[in-house]
Amino acid sequence: MKGKWIGILGGTFNPVHLGHLILAETARIQFKLDQILFMPNYIPPHRSTGDEILAPSEDRYNMLLLAAISNLNFEVSSLELDKEELSYTFYTVEELTKLNPKNRYFFICGADALLLHDWYRFSELAEKLEGFLLAPRQGEGIEKVKEKMINRGFLAVRKIKKIDMIPIGISSTLIRTRIRERQPIRYLVPELVETYIYRKKLYLR
C-alpha cells in the first residue's frame, strides 16, 4: 500500500491562531500533501524556562483539536505531549517513521525557526525528511536562507522549499498580550478557540 505525504507542523501553539491554519492549508495544497499533522510540543528545547508562560498541555492540545475540527486533512498528535519531556523533532520523526515506514514526511516551519535554532542532530533529521517547507521570511528570499544553511554545513538545500503565501501578521505572543490587556482577539483565532480561552480563563496573567 502506498504511503501518505504528510506535513508536520510543530510548535507550542500557545495558543493556536489563524496564521497557523493558513500556513498549514497553503502548504498542503501547494505541495499536494495528504495530511497536515499538528504536533504540539511539551517543552521546546530552544526556549529557556522564562521565555513565555505555557498554557497547560491539555489546553493547548484541546485548542488544536477545536481549530482543526473543520478540516478533514488536519490531524492533531499528542505524541510529544505524552512524553512530558523536552521535545526533539529528530526523535518525533524517527518514531513516526517507525510507526508508518511507507509515509513520507515534510517539516513545516518559518524560515526564522530553521535559521535561528540549534537543531538537535540536524543532518540526520534532514535525511529522514523529504523536505523542509518554509514560510516566508520578511525581507529575505529563499535563496538567501539556503546560502545561510550552506554556511552552517547543511548541504542538502534542495530539500528546502518555499511556501508561497503572504506573511501573516498574527502571533501567539500578540494574542496573549491582547488577552492580558483585555483587548479582543476575534478573527485572530478560530471562534471555538476564542470561546475555549475565555471559558478556561487562559493567558490573563
What's the confidence (pLDDT) of residue 49? 44
115 within domain boundaries: yes
Count other Cβ atoms within 10 Å, centred on residue 96.
19
Q: Distance between CA atoms of 5 and 16, rounded to whole angstroms?
A: 23
Count other Cβ atoms within 10 Å, centred on residue 159.
18
159 within domain boundaries: yes
55 within domain boundaries: yes
Answer for the pair 174, 167: CB distance below 8 angstroms, yes or no.
Answer: no
Number of structural domains (the chain) is 1
187 within domain boundaries: no
CATH of residue 37's domain is 3.40.50.620
Answer for the pair 45, 33: CB distance below 8 angstroms, yes or no.
Answer: no
pLDDT at residue 139 tops 70: no
At 79-92, the pLDDT tens digits run: 999 998 989 999 99
Answer for the pair 170, 18: CB distance below 8 angstroms, yes or no.
Answer: yes
Q: What's the mean pLDDT in 120-136? A: 90
Higher per-residue pLDDT: 47 or 179:
179
Classify residue 106 by burial, with Cβ atoms within 10 Å: 0-12, 13-18, 19+: buried
The structure's pTM equals 0.92
Q: Which domain holds residue 92?
A: 5-168
Q: Using 50, 70 and 90 to split pLDDT, how confident is the model at 141?
A: confident
Average pLDDT, the chain: 91
177 within domain boundaries: no
14 within domain boundaries: yes
At 42-69, the pLDDT tens digits run: 988 766 445 578 999 999 999 999 999 9
161 within domain boundaries: yes
32 within domain boundaries: yes
